Amino acid sequence: MSALQTEAARLAELIRGAESVVALTGAGISVPSGIPDFRSPGTGLWANVNPMEVAHIDVFRRDPERFWRFYGERFQALERKAPNPAHEALAKLERAGLLDAVITQNIDRLHARAGSRRLVEVHGTIDHSSCLRCRARYPLAVVRARQLTDAGGVPRCDCGSALKPDVVLFGEYLPPEAITQAEQLAQAADLMLCIGSSLEVYPVAELPALTLGAGGRIAILTRGSTPYDARATVRCGGDVVQELGAVLAALGI
């Protein structure tokens, strides 16, 4: 049995024995879909741009054209991406009754498109944008169409105000309902699967500690080190698609 199969078998056994399993996912689960993570040297989203200059709420309010020059390109790139087998593996675990929910830091909609039903998007989603003045909300297709027809490249509400994507920008708080739900799931979990996350961005990085503090276990499947490595019952650092595929095989799914 290979090292991958051994770790997959250990994780499958933990999943079978747990009454409540939740997944916490970060940018690394979407890298196989062709979406860069944030901080990898040379390839990360923030490798060549200062996020405080393009993705801060103050930039949106002060200079929506500058904001949308950056975010418009990102929207266009994300629209063409499809879920990968790692996203699909979590949806299969949920359908099999072995996963209660997915908590994700990602805004790319790929978990939903893969079929995950109980999904907590703590950083929001690109699926829609809203007007901060009148609170009207528009789906992504309408936002993209309005952006393409606006002279300044800014999608606008019917009231004339610039639309803001319903994602958490720098300088904003996480949605209270989403983080409360995530905390409740973490505290109730016997096992948390931490997938593709550096577990360094707070307050989401506190979620594994809630599971551990309540007597649960964590399994980490991500490249690079995390602050929780020494406390993980299972630690995998390879390709998330291969690793989750091996876990499904060990479970007979």
Taking Cα atoms as reference points, which of 219, 166, 165 lies closest to residue 17? Answer: 219
Instruction: Give the other-Cβ count within 10 Å of 12's Cβ.
Output: 20
Write the single-letter amino acid at 2. Answer: S
Residue 25 DSSP class: E
- Among this protein's residues, is 123 annotated catalytic? yes
- What contacts 171, CB < 8 A, 6 or more positions away? 56, 57, 58
CA–CA distance, 243 with 237 (Å, rounded to integer): 9
Looking only at the bridges linking them, the beta strands covering 21-25 and 137-139 are: unpaired
- Joined together, the tokens standing for residue 129 give 């944008």
Phi-psi region of 220 (alpha: psi -120 to 50; beta: other; left: phi over 0): beta
One of 56, 87, 111, 123 is an active-site residue; which one? 123
- Joined together, the tokens standing for residue 116 give 């995950």
Cβ atoms 240, 37 nearer than 8 A: no
| Cα–Cα distances in angstroms (integers) from residue 108 to residues 35, 47, 51, 150, 211, in the given order | 9, 19, 18, 24, 26
- What contacts 217, CB < 8 A, 6 or more positions away? 14, 18, 190, 191, 192, 211, 233
Cβ atoms 116, 91 nearer than 8 A: yes
Instruction: Give catalytic residues, as residue numbers.
Output: 123
